[in-house]
Amino acid sequence: MKTLFKTWAASLLAMGVATSALAQSTPVKGAGNVTNTKVNGQQINITTQNAFAEVAVYSPSVIRVRMDKQPLAADFSFAVITKPGSAKANISQDDNQVTISTDSLRTVINKKPFAVTFYTTDGQIINQDEKGLGTSWVNESVTVYKHMQDGEHFVGLGEKTGNLDRKGSGYTNWNSDTFGYRTDQDPIYSTIPFYIGVHHNLNYGIFFDNTYQSDFNFGASNNRFSSFGARGGEMNYYFIYHKNVADIITSYTALTGRMKMPPLWSLGYQQNRYSYYPETEVFRIAQTLREKKIPADGITLDIHYMDKYKVFTWDKTRFPDPAKMTAKLKDMGLKLTLIVDPGVKAEKGYPVYESGLKSDIFIKYPDSTNYTGEVWPGWCHFPDFTAAAGRNWWQTEIKKYADVGVSGIWNDMNEISTWGQKMPDNVIFDYEGKKASHMQAHNVYGLEMARASFEGYRSALGNKRPFILTRSGYSGLQRYTAIWTGDNRAEDDHMLLGVRLLSSLGLSGVPFTGMDIGGFTGNPTVGLYTRWMQIGAFSPYFRNHTGVNTKSAEPWAFGEEALEITRNYINLRYRLLPFLYSSFYEATQNGKPIVRSMAINYTHDPEVYNAKFQNQYEFGNGFLIAPFISTDTYGTVYLPEGNWYNLYSDEMMAGRQQKIMPVSVQKLPVFVKESSIIPMQSLIQSTAEKPTDTLTVHIYKGNRNNTFVYYEDDGESYNYETGSFYKRTITYNAAKKQIVFAKAEGSQSSKFKHITLQMHGFANGTKLSMDGKAANVKTQFVSFLTPVSSFDPQGTTNSAEGHDVKTMTINNNSNTFTLSY
């Protein structure tokens, strides 16, 4: 057969049939050669033999590439909210190529055939189309094939299971309800088609803005290319180049938006369950939290608060007076969050259903009848959140919850999830007036539901910030909502997977993330639960949650030792709120996440991509967390470049080394980067309680320069948008041996009258001066954890580690002051 094919091919060549003609006879259609170009400002419009393209400079570091088989449609995106900025771009061309040059990169478009290569200004290849493949179509599916560089790593792509490094794997984006998903299952709940490639000391980002089902291949089943494509729509991607990964994330979030400041209470500990009911059970949980001195700020109600699972209703037997309940919880320092599902039961006489029919806001079949799918309440219609009318209707209905004092909205089942999980392709969505089938609208439904909830609740609460949570979403979701990783399992590998999911979401521009601490399905061991709660204290959204028909999972349900350990870490979380809140402020400014994969700051260190260390992450700008499983007695930590302090003992260790260390379930391994600046406060039981008037700033001696922006506002309103905040830049200058507190910015005064500086790693002979005058320094014993009884048969006790530090206290005024050492 092979001989016959060779003979046939040779005969065709002998007859003058070119191999390119053979390729064109296949079902795969490439773009072909460029036939016409037109420069229009900082973009170039291109016609090829088989397609139409547009390459535009969005900024000196961001190039957009669009291509379709037909003339390009009017520009539209649910994700991208910025227009191209003015950038100095030089566009030149000859018979063979078009060159677009900015001060950051050079883009070369080959004409024969169409192919794109991105270079640094000094000529290094950052990314290029694979020769001979480029961009092509198979029926309505479009894919671009990229040459895979030697040793290339791929990170990001949002909520994707598997390894931190995506090399060798393929992924599909189709938002899916995946109860109890496997640690290698794909897809799961959300779609963020943005990834970062790393090779040869270079790094770049690619955001593929196409809402159809999309597929990414990073060398799965081939050793030639990486690729991305979709089952319909345009080839439409943004190429981002910076020398630092953090700047790539900043540029990506400049395109897709950044989060607003969250309400302070949403950063506190949240106690959840599927489900807490009736009202007396809610109060029992609240009272026990307070009696056992477990700091907490929120309780969440799952679907059993509703009347027969119908959205925007209450079961009046279980919850006879919601307004009275939320008021009582508020008096206890606790906010209430409610779950909402998009399905509206098709039931005559149900006011929400009747209102939806009257407003004509449900998604429809092509014959204009409302689509009906089955979910918790039974057969339901679904609001069209891709239409302004649908979002406005939702906002009117959701106000009912604000009116009774509910503070947070949890959007669930918004993939869309229905029993059977097979919504027909021919369901029609408005898609902002452009009309789209389910195939195009599916992946943005969750994003637009979260948008409707955010905009509606922001309006309903007036000047107070809402807390919005979602299970599903698309790029840009960070503008409206936090996200959690869905219905995970109470298993060690799921705990570690959750860490990687948060790291990957952070790499993909989403800072406010969380997982069901302890696992949603199944029952964790005492050790697993304890370790997971420790990790939760170093997560952006700290939510303990378990499913129906599981054992109780409150901190007191696992014995006295587990209670002591978990309370220790919840306490530490609350003391760290000034650091955490300032980290969220940073996220609003530049998109940097709270959970930071080591790939952000140590991008070209090969150990970062070692599966042995892929679960380690930085928490804000200062901490390194090493999450071992509960049964480990020894573990190996990788410390990246620089010096690192053990949080509990202040032992300093050099970086770029693997360190074997004993592991105990009583302590999560946590390290502090040299030159770090960590502001902390006194312990409180909820954010409704005021801390003492002293802010403690921990400073760790080091050899690197560092800057930390300390930030306060009132924690609940949008007044910060008009200048009502307190912000202070604190700089550690290693060369000058100075720590400088810059003059405070903003119209708000700090809630702290005094600042206590606690100096870690400064030798006994170190002399400290404040603004040139000798400082009044004392020695103080510092311990971040209280002793925990081991409760073993021998009755031994594990004393919490601590250490002596140099301490000085000063008045907190708005002027600049300098500490020298």
pLDDT digits (tens, 9 = 90+) for 624-640: 999 999 888 999 999 99
* CA distances to 208, 209, 468 from 80, in Å: 11, 8, 20
Q: Which long-range contacts (CB under 8 A, 24 or more apart) does 177-180 make?
A: 177/413, 177/415, 177/417, 177/421, 178/486, 178/487, 179/487, 179/521, 180/487, 180/488, 180/489, 180/520, 180/521
pLDDT at 814: 87
The Cα–Cα gap between 485 and 775 comes to 49
Check residue 791 and give its pLDDT. 52
Strand pairing class (513-517; 652-654)? unpaired
Question: Which residues, other chains included, contact 307 with Cβ-Cβ below 8 Å and sequence gap of 6+?
Answer: 313, 314, 315, 316
Q: Among this protein's residues, is 641 annotated catalytic?
A: no
Give how far Cα 683 sits from Cα of 131, 329, 686, 693, 755, Å.
61, 20, 9, 12, 16
pLDDT in tens, 276-295: 999 999 999 999 999 999 99
Residue 195 parent element (H or E): strand 194-199
Q: Tokens 């306060």 map to which residue?
A: 712
Distance CA 247, CA 249 (A): 5
pLDDT for the residue numbered 765: 85
Cα-based angle 778, 780, 782 (whole degrees, multiple of 5): 155
Residue type, 237: Y
Q: For residue 574, give both structure tokens.
A: 């609350």
**Residue 1's pLDDT is what?**
40
Catalytic residue (choose from 412, 430, 516, 586): 412
The pLDDT of residue 7? 41
Query: For residue 502, with 0-12 CB atoms within 10 Å meaning exposed, 13-18 middle and 19 or more buried, which class applies?
Result: buried
Residue 412 designated active-site:
yes
Dist. CA 92–CA 339, nearest whole Å = 55
CB 684 within 8 A of CB 692: no
**DSSP 8-state assignment for residue 385:** T
The residue length of the chain stands at 821
pLDDT at 787: 85
Q: Is the dihedral of CA 36, 39, 42, 45 positive or negative?
A: negative
Q: Where are the domains of the chain?
A: 25-241, 598-673, 677-820
Among the listed residues 487, 476, 413, the one whose alpha carbon sits nearest the alpha carbon of residue 448: 476
Instruction: Identify the CATH homologous superfamily for domain 598-673.
Output: Golgi alpha-mannosidase II (2.60.40.1180)
Query: For residue 45, which phi and psi values (nearest 5 degrees)?
Result: -95, 135
Candidates 297, 430, 487, 516; catalytic one: 487
CATH superfamily of 677-820: Golgi alpha-mannosidase II (2.60.40.1180)
Q: Tell me if domain 25-241 and domain 677-820 are identical in fold.
A: yes
Q: Check: CB of residue 495 under 8 Å from CB of residue 535.
A: yes
- How far apart, in Å, do the first and last CA atoms of the chain sit? 81
All residue ranges of the chain with pLDDT < 70 are 1-25, 790-800
Rounded to an integer, what distance in angstroms lies between the CA atom of residue 411 and that of residue 445? 11
Strand partners, 730: 708, 741
Query: Domain 25-241 is classified in which CATH homologous superfamily?
Result: glycosyl hydrolase (family 31) (2.60.40.1760)
**Number of neighbouring beta carbons within 10 Å of residue 15:** 7
pLDDT of residue 10: 42
Decide the pairing of beta strands 595-597 and 617-619.
Answer: antiparallel
The residue from 129, 152, 186, 415 that is catalytic is 415
**Beta carbons of 116 and 34 less than 8 angstroms apart:** no
pLDDT at 476: 98
In 23-156, DSSP assigns E strands to 28-30, 34-40, 43-48, 52-59, 62-68, 90-93, 97-101, 105-111, 114-120, 125-128, 135-138, 141-147, 153-156
β-pair partners for 781: 804
